[in-house]
Amino acid sequence: MTLDLKTKTLPAGPDAAAEAAECLRGGGLIGFPTETVYGLGADAANPAAVARLYAAKGRPSFNPLIAHVASLDSARGLARFDATALRLAEAFWPGPLTLVLPKAPGCTVSDLATAGLDTVAVRIPAHPVAQAILRAFGGAVVAPSANRSGHVSPTTAAHVRADLDGRIDLIVDGGPVEVGVESTILGCLGAPVLLRPGGAPREAIERLLGFALAEPAAAPAGDHAPLAPGMLASHYAPGAQVRLDARDVRPGEALLGFGPVALPGAEAASAIRNLSPAGDLAEAAAHLFGFLRELDASGAHAIAVMPIPHQGLGEAINDRLRRAAAPRD
């Protein structure tokens, strides 16, 4: 018996890149791998395609998208880079860093994709499959993570299918991603501001800059346009409750471990995944979203999460876990 999937999936390769580019040209939506998470791509310059993308994801359209391009030259056609932004781009691209910059005069990214802001978020992904698709297409591709809004980000093609089958036109399967958490977002509209911790660790960015990153000013009460509008408190949410910094495992809970597991009650956990038995943060980031999905699917009512060190990729991991644990709307 064959499984009747509504969205076509192709293994990564030259044919898939060409078909993905063709699909984008026709206003279609593609799921594709980047080194951070799978993205849901649309032609950035096509407002109808961008509108379809928001609808497929179930995303509020006041939340702007990241424009992905293959080269710094293309990025400079979309946005204005000051000396600091240029240094960051040259050091971290291609890679898991997104820069929020002033739009360039000829910026082709549709106003719908930037939610009417006069800034644009830009990234050059390092994944060879993303690079191949961007080069075959030629233009900018806007791509949020390829999950339904509010769900955990996808790190495999199967995750994309689970959330978006039948809602998008094509999925390119490039295997599991390498980084596992989304890109770090820096606002570069003056002194660089860390808007979202992610795959490029703060320490590496601060080392390059030679100074500490500013924190985003707290949005004034009642302000519905925070600096990175997507950073809503409850996000990346699995169905199960998430309990952080667990020092024990309570009856009926599943356990998300890190490092050696020696917690009271662990032997009775309803399911166990260990992000990295050796305590390696890069390995933990790569496993984070997949393990959250698996523990959620195990039917546990709650997931106890062991403490994760708050350095390097740990800052992004803890940020996503905090959001997964936040009270739901």
Structure tokens at 227: 């600096």
Q: Single out the residue of 106, 98, 104 nearest to residue 79, CA to CA.
A: 104
When CB distances are held under 5 to 8 angstroms depending on the partner's kind, the choice from Mg ion, ligand TXA, none that residue 64 binds is ligand TXA
Shortest separation between residue 8's beta carbon and Mg ion, angstroms? 23
- Neighbouring residues of 198: CB distance < 8 A, sequence distance ≥ 6: 36, 96, 97, 98, 181, 182, 183, 184, 185, 316
State which residue, 181 or 246, has the beta carbon closest to Mg ion: 181
**Secondary element (H or E) of residue 325:** helix 314-325
> Which listed residue (144, 192, 197, 201) binds ligand TXA by CB under 6 A?
144
Helix axes 281-297, 314-325, angle to 10 degrees: 20
Instruction: Check residue 36 for interaction with ligand TXA (CB under 6 A).
Output: yes
When CB distances are held under 5 to 8 angstroms depending on the partner's kind, the choice from ligand TXA, Mg ion, none that residue 23 binds is none
| Cα dihedral 48, 53, 59, 61 sign | negative
Instruction: Check residue 145 for interaction with Mg ion (CB under 5 A).
Output: yes
What letter would DSSP give residue 248?
Answer: S
59 has binding-site annotation: yes
328 has binding-site annotation: no
Look up residue 328 and give its amino acid.
R
> Which listed residue (18, 117, 263, 266) binds ligand TXA by CB under 6 A?
117
Q: Give SS3 for 171.
A: strand
Instruction: Check residue 228 for interaction with ligand TXA (CB under 6 A).
Output: yes
Residue count, binding to ligand TXA (CB under 6 A): 29
Shortest separation between residue 76's beta carbon and ligand TXA, angstroms? 17
Structure tokens at 111: 């106003």
State which residue, 236 or 257, has the beta carbon closest to ligand TXA: 236
Could you say which residues in the range 169-188 bind ligand TXA, by CB under 6 A? 182-183, 185
User: Checking DSSP bridges between strand 119-123 and strand 170-173, what pairing results, if any?
Assistant: unpaired
Q: Give SS3 for 281.
A: helix
Phi, psi at 20, each rounded to 5°? -65, -40
State which residue, 228 or 254, has the beta carbon closest to ligand TXA: 228
State which residue, 137 or 306, has the beta carbon closest to ligand TXA: 137
7 has binding-site annotation: no
Shortest separation between residue 267's beta carbon and ligand TXA, angstroms? 37
Could you say which residues in the range 85-114 bind ligand TXA, by CB under 6 A? 98, 100, 114
Say if CB 43 and CB 139 are below 8 A apart: yes
Percent of the chain that is helix, strand, coil (3-state, to 5): 30, 20, 50
When CB distances are held under 5 to 8 angstroms depending on the partner's kind, the choice from ligand TXA, Mg ion, none that residue 36 binds is ligand TXA
Buried b (16+ CB within 10 A) or exposed e, 250-284: eeebbbbbbbeeebeebeebbbbbbbbeeeebebb
Instruction: Check residue 126 for interaction with ligand TXA (CB under 6 A).
Output: no
123 has binding-site annotation: yes
State which residue, 145 or 274, has the beta carbon closest to Mg ion: 145
Q: Where is the binding site for L-threonine, in residues?
A: 36, 68, 123, 143, 183
Binding-site ranges for ligand TXA (CB under 6 A): 34, 36-37, 39, 63-66, 98, 100, 114, 117, 119-121, 123, 125, 143-145, 182-183, 185, 195, 227-231
